[in-house]
């Protein structure tokens, strides 16, 4: 997500560049909303940022306020209607556009509330649209006052950028699960999911948007107010995988954290080997740290095809069966006759690692030692990551030795939870580690009231459910989400 308030600047193009820097956070759809103070316009479509926008389109989006979004769906199908920014109008004619990073867990209850207020829209099936609709449900209140009323009723993870014709808003849930930062331009302000997006538009980092904080920016300047008391629980998986390495979260550079994870991984799970290689790109920093700590030479053993990602041309069945070979190709001369340590960021289902180990052996590697720079993923995430269903998580049903046998490696080592937390330099008490240890900090409702398609009637089989206590475990819930890109 990205938002900018900057009179005199080409805010649409600034937002485009900001979204480019944030493309890794979502590849399903992209959109930009712009206001010139009198009219609010939204342009969005399915696809990557560069596929959705061209020069003429950006030139047509004129104004001094803009927000943008790259979609990674966690509630609602991947359709044009569900692309963001979402857009609604109030009964007084004020337009509201909104972008959301995260996932709510009381979506079913919010849908009931939206119906009561007469702001439900059955054609859109996202928690993000529900938030937008609820903001329009109080015609006697300003957007800012409506936000102060609505935001405390949201349960789950939400970092938001939203706008009306005159004001840019940013808000973060009281747990601060997903990152959100504030930056300064010479003639304006920027909010973004990561500091890397500030860098690309030349904005200076000011601070993080605090958990439980609502920021409003307009002609009168910047205002801040607290809508709930903070209980920080930042996502630990941001450090392991989600965030860009050149981003800083809670004062800790992500690249430095990942290199440190690699050092800790080498101390916890040493290997006798000739070469350390990463699975590019996400395994690269930890592989560097592993090589530094172990003294084993670091090298490039796999080449990534940078153009493989979301595609609208489906490969043939023959090519589809090759799987990982579409994305990675081995350097056989580098691998042949060597004992290899291959470092990756995580194992979810195990499909990628199984194919990878086979590929390395076929390329002549004598031994393949797999090292993972995050702990075993044992539970689904309900706060904004589309992990597999619990039954599909390989580490949920197998111990480390069982996973090793399943993927065919000579040895397998995961960094410990304590090691990953230590590398983040954050207190464990301020982090969400639910996908690793099963302790969910935000209370969860009944299993049938959560899930990607809860608003489409697929998982919602009852009208109400009792929220579970904070600290619900996935063993009690037994429900997960679908990973659109099995790893």
Establish if 471 belongs to a structural domain.
no
Same-domain check for residues 153 and 205? yes
Residue 378 sits in a domain of what CATH number? 3.40.50.2020
Establish if 479 belongs to a structural domain.
no
Establish if 63 belongs to a structural domain.
yes
Establish if 239 belongs to a structural domain.
no
Same-domain check for residues 47 and 75? yes
Q: How high is the pLDDT of residue 123?
A: 81
Give every residue of the chain whose pLDDT is below 50, as ranges.
310-314, 458-487
Residue 26 sits in a domain of what CATH number? 3.60.20.10
The residue from 380, 406, 431 where one domain ends is 431
Q: What end-to-end distance do the CA atoms of the chain give, in Å?
A: 25
Per the structure, the complete domain to which residue 47 belongs is given by 2-232
| Short-list 70, 145, 147, CA closest to 133 | 147
Kindly give, in sequence order, each residue whose CB lies less than 8 Å from that of residue 406, ignoring residues fewer than 6 positions away.
Answer: 350, 354, 394, 398
Same-domain check for residues 40 and 138? yes
What are 209-266's pLDDT values in tens digits? 999 999 999 999 999 999 999 999 999 999 999 999 999 999 999 999 999 999 999 9
Q: How high is the pLDDT of residue 315?
A: 52
**386 vs 73: CA distance, rounded Å:** 8
Supply 20's token pair: 């480019």
Peptide bond into 161 cis (omega under 30): no
**184 vs 196: CA distance, rounded Å:** 14
| Short-list 110, 115, 95, CA closest to 33 | 95
Establish if 372 belongs to a structural domain.
yes
Same-domain check for residues 170 and 131? yes
| Short-list 45, 94, 36, 42, CA closest to 67 | 42
Stated pTM of the model: 0.90
What are 46-76's pLDDT values in tens digits? 999 999 999 999 999 999 999 999 998 877 7
Same-domain check for residues 87 and 225? yes
SS3 category, 277 = strand
196-233 burial code (b ≥16 CB/10 A, e <16): bbbbbbebeeeebbbbbbbbbbbeeeeeeeebeebbbb
Structural domain tally of the chain? 2
What are 130-159's pLDDT values in tens digits? 999 999 999 899 999 999 999 999 999 999
Establish if 312 belongs to a structural domain.
no
Same-domain check for residues 290 and 173? no
């Amino acid at each position: 997500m990205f938002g900018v308030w900057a009179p005199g600047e080409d805010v649409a193009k600034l937002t485009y560049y900001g979204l480019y820097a944030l493309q890794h956070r979502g590849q399903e759809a992209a959109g930009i909303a712009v206001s010139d103070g009198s009219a609010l316009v939204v342009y969005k479509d399915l696809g990557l940022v560069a596929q959705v926008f061209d020069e003429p389109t950006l030139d047509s989006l004129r104004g001094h306020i803009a927000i943008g979004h790259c979609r990674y769906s966690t509630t609602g199908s991947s359709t044009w209607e569900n692309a963001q920014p979402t857009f609604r109008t109030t009964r007084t004619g004020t337009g509201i556009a909104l972008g959301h990073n995260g996932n709510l867990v009381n979506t079913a209850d919010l849908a009931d509330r939206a119906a009561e207020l007469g702001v439900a829209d059955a054609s859109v099936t996202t928690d993000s649209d529900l938030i937008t609709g609820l903001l329009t449900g109080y015609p006697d209140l300003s957007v800012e006052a409506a936000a102060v009323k609505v935001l405390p009723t949201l349960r789950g993870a939400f970092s938001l950028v939203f706008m009306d014709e005159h004001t840019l808003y940013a808000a973060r849930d009281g747990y601060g699960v997903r990152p959100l930062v504030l930056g300064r331009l010479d003639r304006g302000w920027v909010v973004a999911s990561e500091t890397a997006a500030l860098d690309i538009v030349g904005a200076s980092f000011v601070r993080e948007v605090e958990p439980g904080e609502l920021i409003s920016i307009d002609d009168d300047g910047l205002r801040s107010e607290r809508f709930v008391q903070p209980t920080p629980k930042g996502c630990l998986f941001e450090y392991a995988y989600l965030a860009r390495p050149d981003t800083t979260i809670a004062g800790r550079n992500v690249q430095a954290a990942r290199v440190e994870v690699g050092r800790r991984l080498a101390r916890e799970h040493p290997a006798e080997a000739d070469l350390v290689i990463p699975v590019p790109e996400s395994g690269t920093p930890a592989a560097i740290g592993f090589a530094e700590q172990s003294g084993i030479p670091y090298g490039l053993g796999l080449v990534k095809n940078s153009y493989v990602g979301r595609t609208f041309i489906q490969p043939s069945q023959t090519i589809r069966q090759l799987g990982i070979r579409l994305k990675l190709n081995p350097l056989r001369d580098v691998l042949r006759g060597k004992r290899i340590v291959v470092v990756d960021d995580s194992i979810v289902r195990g499909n990628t690692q199984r194919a990878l180990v086979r590929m390395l052996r076929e390329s002549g590697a004598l031994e393949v030692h797999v090292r993972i720079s995050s702990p075993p993923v044992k539970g689904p995430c309900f706060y904004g990551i589309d992990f597999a269903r619990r039954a599909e998580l390989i580490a949920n049903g197998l111990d480390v030795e069982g996973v090793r046998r399943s993927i065919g490696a000579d040895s397998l080592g995961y960094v410990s939870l304590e090691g990953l937390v230590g590398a983040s330099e954050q207190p464990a008490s301020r982090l969400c580690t639910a996908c690793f240890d099963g302790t969910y900090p935000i209370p969860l409702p009944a299993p049938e009231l959560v899930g990607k398609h809860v608003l489409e009637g697929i998982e919602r089989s009852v009208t109400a459910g009792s929220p579970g206590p904070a600290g619900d475990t996935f063993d009690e819930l037994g429900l997960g989400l679908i990973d659109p890109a099995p790893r």
